[in-house]
Amino acid sequence: MSHSLAIASVTAVLRHTLENGLVAQGVTASLGGDASVSALPPDRITVGADEKTQLNLFLFQVSPNTGLRRPVGLPSSKTTLSARPVLSLDLHYILTAYGASEYQSEILLGHAVKSLQNVSTLGRDQIRTALASLTSTVGGRMVPAPLAALAASKLAEQVEDIKIESQFLSLEDMSRIWSALQARFRPSVVYKVSLVSLE
């Protein structure tokens, strides 16, 4: 069962998956340069004349998943007052592409969508490998404190599979999101990641 690091761990694993997907697809040749992947609020991304070619993965909503509402360690037919409920969540991300030149954001978004389509489920081994890679201090590598904390994540131990599904929003719904973010609109795709269980 995962615990309080689960949400951040999912974001880190998704970012790692996108980075590896871009490398595997040789995106630098299509773009004419490197591209990075960040996990920042969109209003913190530099746009305009200094805009870089990058993807940004932003968690904009967390909602309850009603698919798993049984107490931990008990079958669904047996419930006691002392049983601890499982908090099951769906995580909603907006994946945005930025580009310094024409067509770069569209090329980058296309590669990102393909990468996530190829990985419709985050498996235990994939989660363990990604978190081990991200938190490794081998060779004296300095790891920022928030990322280092994910080494203690138990995300890979949760029973349920973690699924990645694209969500197609209307222009009105997408406009509402961007208005709430108070950032300049860029080509984007929305994903739902479910379910993430917290004990």
Whether the CB-CB separation of 122 and 13 falls below 8 Å is answered with yes
Nearest-angstrom CA–CA distance, 136 and 147: 10
Provide the residue ranges of all domains of the chain, joining segments of one domain with +: 9-59+91-151+160-192
- H helices then E strands: how many in the chain? 6, 6
- Confidence band for 29, pLDDT divided at 50, 70 and 90: confident
Q: By C-alpha distance, which of 65, 90, 96, 88 is closest to 190?
A: 96
Tokens representing 30 are: 């299509």
Query: CB atoms < 10 A from the CB of 63, how many?
Result: 11
Asked, as a colleague might, if the bond just before 195 is cis with ω within 30 of 0, I would say yes
Residues 6+ apart with CB under 8 A from 80: 71, 74
Residues 6+ apart with CB under 8 A from 45: 38, 54, 56, 96, 98, 183
pLDDT in tens, 68-120: 555 545 555 544 544 667 789 999 999 999 998 999 999 999 999 999 999 98
pLDDT in tens, 148-170: 999 899 999 887 889 999 999 89
